[in-house]
Structure 1
Amino acid sequence: MEEEANLNQFGSKRKMPLGFLFKDASLIFKRDELGLEILHIALPTALALMADPIASLIDTAFIGHIGPVELAAVGVSIAVFNQVSKITIFPLVSVTTSLVAEEDTVSRVNNVTESHNLEESHPKNNEMQNLIPKPDSGKVAPTRTGGNPKIENLEFAKRNIPSASSALVIGGLLGLFQAIFLIIMAKPLLRFMGIKADSPMLTPAIQYLTLRSLGAPAILLSLAMQGIFRGFKDTKTPLYATVVGDVTNIILDSIFIVTFHWGVSGAAIAHVFSQYLISIVLLWTLRKKINLLPPSIADLQFGRFLKSGSLLLARVIAATFCVTLAASLAARLGPIPMAAFQISLQIWLASSLLADGLAVAGQAILASAFAEKDHEKATATAVRVLQHSLVLGLVLAFVLGVGLQFGSKLFTKDIHVLHLISISIPFVAATQPINSLAFVFDGVNFGASDFSYSAYSMVLVAVVSIVCLVIFFYTHGFIGIWIALTIYMSLRMFAGFWRIGSGSGPWQFLRS
């Protein structure tokens, strides 16, 4: 009877591919336990993810008033830095979130079992605790463990989470390697992006990229810690740290760029300083929750990170190559098209990142549900976050379609740049529902630890998208780039839909 009820609730194998996204649609905004859990994780995550792109947009606004050449140069540098960073950041954060969520769930279950065993082994002590009179003042209130110090230690002692310690070590090392790589390879990478030796963009681009690379260790370490906090389902702490850092970035932008006239170098220095501040705040908070380093090196879980991380590394290389190629093609059109593409791309990515909050919520809850083998909650969570993402995408499409008609003037006053931005607005706005669903499907599959499918499907999507980019660029120019990016995100969305919709891989239980 229970299996029959589950089939009626979530659909059979034949109905699932077409109908699961709209299952129980009337519950989409219900403030039940699941809805509140998603909200408490997704909202702070979305705000934290939005904070950095907003800071980048403010950087872009400051630099845009210096001149279109500097704006285009910084646009290329940011594209290089972001794409290289994503190759290391995305696998690290995604794997960390899933592994920490699984370990934390298992740890809590074990702690509850051990606490229960301790209580049963001291029944008389617990009975005596209830018989002893409790004075009303001058004493600490009895704990919910009945005053048993062994049980209290289980609840309040700092925990050893091997995957969290592993993430910190890996994040720090990857950050150092990334900084060294970007500083040494700055000029060749910019040349690859289409900036020629005699281009006026070359000098400011090298200045910005070299200085900003100094913040790579802090960025990798702080994002590893954000993955840890997400695994704990604590997304408020990363939000607070990110807001502190990005507000500092904005203040320093006004000082270094406007007051000191340091130009693109001032923007880079402000960003680096803010990233180290974020890292310090997160590290100080995390040390109160867990032991940062395990008792021995043998406890580190480098093997699990390498296995899952290598799959996601292939995935993120394929994904970032598409966006990097798009930026490179825009740069080949000249400073004006590149400046317009940079502004449009930043808005496109910043708005789409709102859906990442739902993706993180889905991933964290699903990782815990799969660890507990709670298939009913796993399915309900996947359906709910996907429905939320569709609504979010439709709202963003309307807001950007209307708002960008007027808001683009905040970033530049160059009429040629504004004209090209107006051409890209329909693509930026119309793709929001597609982007939102694609990102949340990623989170759903990561929560199920379905890293293999995520990697292989993205490689296939990238191959098709790269071919489209080249063809449409040479046939339609600037507009062709946006057509190809729309195809790219549509294929990503379909790949995510197919996995859960067909009830394959970790979702096979939907067919039973």
Structure 2
Amino acid sequence: MQSSDTSGAPAVSGRRILGLALPALGVLAAEPLYLLFDIAVVGRLGALALAGLAIGGLVLAQVSTQLTFLSYGTTARAARLHGADRHDDAIQEGVQATWLAVGVGTLILVIGQLLAVPVAGVIAGDAEIAAAAVSWLRIALFGAPLILVALAGNGWMRGVQDTIRPLRYVVTGLALSALLCPLLVHGLWGAPRWELAGSAVANVAGQLVAATLFVVALLRAGVPLRPRRRVILAQLQLGRDLIARSLAFQACFLSAAAVAARFGAAAVAGHQVVLQLWNFVTLTLDSLAIAAQALVGAALGAGERRGANRLAWRITAWSALFGGVLAGLFLLGRSVIPALFTDDTAVLDQIDIAWWFFIAIMPFAGVVFALDGVLLGAGDAAFLRNATLTAALVGFLPFIWLSLAFDWGLGGIWTGLTVFIVLRMIAVVWRTLSGRWAVTGADRQVRVHDETGG
């Protein structure tokens, strides 16, 4: 932990914050960039293979998305211990999260193999597409435990304020996948031509390399590797709240996509373009949130309540400013950026409807993401769960379904997203101002959780 100034605030420089945030952004962005490459490679096989990849990838992504507590929850717990100079205990959080990842990942593998055919059939709605999806999914599911091990590895390393090694490990694994993917899909340079199955094999190979690097890092840390039931149960308790929060997000965005589709092809295409740009914005803002998690958690673990509070507002100001800058850039690019995705005038008209909402919410999102990171770093996951569920049920979901009932189109859907962001901002600002989140001490994560209604 860095030295404190006379006010008790940790002397954390802007360079230190960026030193954590930028590598974290690299990790967040690396997989989406690889997935675009994977789509481009498989797309040359034709529409059927691409549809199979889309359905199979959706199934696997939905599973792994719900288990990000292995990363974010582990960061919160490890950061407190790191701040209290209990370095070995912080790494132990990574050991236990890795055991949990292996157990849950193996369960997903088994259940996924049993349910691959019916699940793909329901989602695809076409026998040929479902068969292609299953051929990819049966292989890709072997990567489920590996994906979760990497999430756990990212979590504990961020907690000890090391975001460089996770970036190296993830990029190394994805580089191998990127090398193998065209070789195995198209049979280049004498490699076997496995077509869609080759994509799945390439993915698993890269995931195996990344997971192995994270496990080797634990082995080299020299801490005991046996499972500890009490720690695993505490991680699951924190994970319960983060999973509920994640499910709220999924319900909202899946509902938005379903309703947009009912307004016609142009509406759903326009919604998808703006939503993908929104996902890009959230990745950049989330990198600062990860820095907030690690630094605030460490400050609380060191007993520096006032320092944690000052860090919280400093990073929030940075994030809000960054959101404002992004809003300005997208405002300037309003006539150029949408045309990079389509030249269809009907789709462009729909994009224009959503564009103003997209720009308006960015500064608010900067505040929300930063304070989400602060409260996650404090282990205040139960409050975040309740705030997200309330904002979804009161704001986002009603506007989505009212848009369908009254034919409000994308304007209604994106009004719902705007209300969702504003309600969450009000909640996290109120919570941060209350100070109830700032419970100090390395062993206080579970108590924070219990006090907030968990």
* TM-score for both structures, normalised by structure 1: 0.72
1:41 to 20, 41, 48: 20
Q: Does residue 230 of structure 1 match 2:158?
A: yes
In structure 2, do the counterparts of structure 1 residues 48 and 316 end up closer, same or farther at CA, with 3 Å as the change threshold?
same
Greater CA drift, 44-53 or 277-286:
277-286
State the SS of the aligned residue for 2:223: coil
| Letter matched to residue 400 of structure 2 | L
The residue aligned with 2:300 is: 370
Shift of 1:409: 7.0
Q: CA RMSD in A?
A: 3.7
2:391 to 451, 455, 461: 461
Take 2:131 and 2:35, find their aligned partners in 1: how far apart are those partners?
Answer: 20
In structure 2, do the counterparts of structure 1 residues 167 and 486 end up closer, same or farther at CA, with 3 Å as the change threshold?
same
Q: Does residue 52 of structure 1 match 2:31?
A: yes
In structure 2, do the counterparts of structure 1 residues 343 and 178 end up closer, same or farther at CA, with 3 Å as the change threshold?
farther
Take 1:301 and 1:455, find their aligned partners in 2: how far apart are those partners?
Answer: 21
Q: Does residue 280 of structure 1 match 2:212?
A: yes
Greater CA drift, 184-193 or 221-230:
184-193
1:93-104 correspondence runs (5 A): 93-104=71-82
Take 2:186 and 2:358, find their aligned partners in 1: how far apart are those partners?
Answer: 31
State the SS of the aligned residue for 1:215: helix
1:202-217 correspondence runs (5 A): 202-217=130-145
2:382 to 427, 438, 452: 452
| Letter matched to residue 449 of structure 1 | G
Shift of 1:221: 0.7
1:61-140 correspondence runs (5 A): 61-62=40-41, 74-75=53-54, 77-89=56-68, 91-108=69-86
The residue aligned with 1:241 is: 169
For the 8 Å contact 2:305–2:439, the answer to whether it is kept is no
**TM-superposition CA deviations, 1:278-304 (whole Å, max 9, x none):** 11122222321242614xx45751232
**TM-superposition CA deviations, 1:445-479 (whole Å, max 9, x none):** 11122122111111112212222222224423455
In structure 2, do the counterparts of structure 1 residues 442 and 182 end up closer, same or farther at CA, with 3 Å as the change threshold?
farther
Shift of 1:209: 4.3
Shift of 1:51: 1.2
In structure 2, do the counterparts of structure 1 residues 398 and 67 end up closer, same or farther at CA, with 3 Å as the change threshold?
farther
Shift of 1:347: 3.4
| Letter matched to residue 15 of structure 2 | L
Take 1:336 and 1:275, find their aligned partners in 2: how far apart are those partners?
Answer: 36
State the SS of the aligned residue for 2:66: helix
Take 1:394 and 1:345, find their aligned partners in 2: how far apart are those partners?
Answer: 18
Shift of 1:203: 4.6
Greater CA drift, 201-210 or 42-51:
201-210
Shift of 1:367: 1.1
| Letter matched to residue 466 of structure 1 | L
| Letter matched to residue 240 of structure 1 | R
The residue aligned with 1:315 is: 245
| Letter matched to residue 426 of structure 2 | F
Q: State percent identity of aligned pairs.
A: 29
Q: Does residue 180 of structure 1 match 2:159?
A: no
Greater CA drift, 433-442 or 35-44:
433-442
Take 2:52 and 2:353, find their aligned partners in 1: how far apart are those partners?
Answer: 21
State the SS of the aligned residue for 2:161: coil
Take 2:56 and 2:411, find their aligned partners in 1: how far apart are those partners?
Answer: 22
The residue aligned with 2:221 is: 289
Shift of 1:239: 0.7
Higher CA-based Rg: 1
Take 1:335 and 1:476, find their aligned partners in 2: how far apart are those partners?
Answer: 16
Take 2:57 and 2:404, find their aligned partners in 1: how far apart are those partners?
Answer: 21
Shift of 1:274: 2.0
| Letter matched to residue 233 of structure 1 | Q
1:506 to 426, 434, 437: 437
| Letter matched to residue 176 of structure 1 | T
For the 8 Å contact 1:76–1:331, the answer to whether it is kept is no
Take 2:423 and 2:233, find their aligned partners in 1: how far apart are those partners?
Answer: 31
Shift of 1:343: 5.0
For the 8 Å contact 2:139–2:197, the answer to whether it is kept is yes
Q: Does residue 251 of structure 1 match 2:179?
A: yes
Take 1:206 and 1:334, find their aligned partners in 2: how far apart are those partners?
Answer: 29
**TM-superposition CA deviations, 1:200-258 (whole Å, max 9, x none):** 75454444444433321111011101101011110000011112222333333443456
Q: Does residue 164 of structure 1 match 2:94?
A: yes
In structure 2, do the counterparts of structure 1 residues 321 and 213 end up closer, same or farther at CA, with 3 Å as the change threshold?
farther
State the SS of the aligned residue for 2:370: helix
Q: Does residue 492 of structure 1 match 2:424?
A: yes
Shift of 1:362: 0.9
Take 1:421 and 1:266, find their aligned partners in 2: how far apart are those partners?
Answer: 36
| Letter matched to residue 453 of structure 1 | F
For the 8 Å contact 2:286–2:369, the answer to whether it is kept is yes
| Letter matched to residue 164 of structure 2 | K
Long gaps (5+) in structure 1: 11-31, 110-157
Shift of 1:484: 2.9
2:148 to 198, 220, 224: 220
Long gaps (5+) in structure 2: 1-5, 441-454
In structure 2, do the counterparts of structure 1 residues 290 and 370 end up closer, same or farther at CA, with 3 Å as the change threshold?
same
Take 1:413 and 1:67, find their aligned partners in 2: how far apart are those partners?
Answer: 23
State the SS of the aligned residue for 1:214: helix
| Letter matched to residue 40 of structure 1 | G
Shift of 1:491: 2.7
| Letter matched to residue 95 of structure 1 | G
Take 2:412 and 2:46, find their aligned partners in 1: how far apart are those partners?
Answer: 26
For the 8 Å contact 1:46–1:356, the answer to whether it is kept is yes
| Letter matched to residue 26 of structure 2 | L
Shift of 1:82: 2.7
Take 1:336 and 1:207, find their aligned partners in 2: how far apart are those partners?
Answer: 31
The residue aligned with 2:443 is: none
**TM-superposition CA deviations, 1:422-457 (whole Å, max 9, x none):** 665545444433333322221111112212211111
The residue aligned with 1:139 is: none
The residue aligned with 2:452 is: none
Take 1:285 and 1:55, find their aligned partners in 2: how far apart are those partners?
Answer: 24
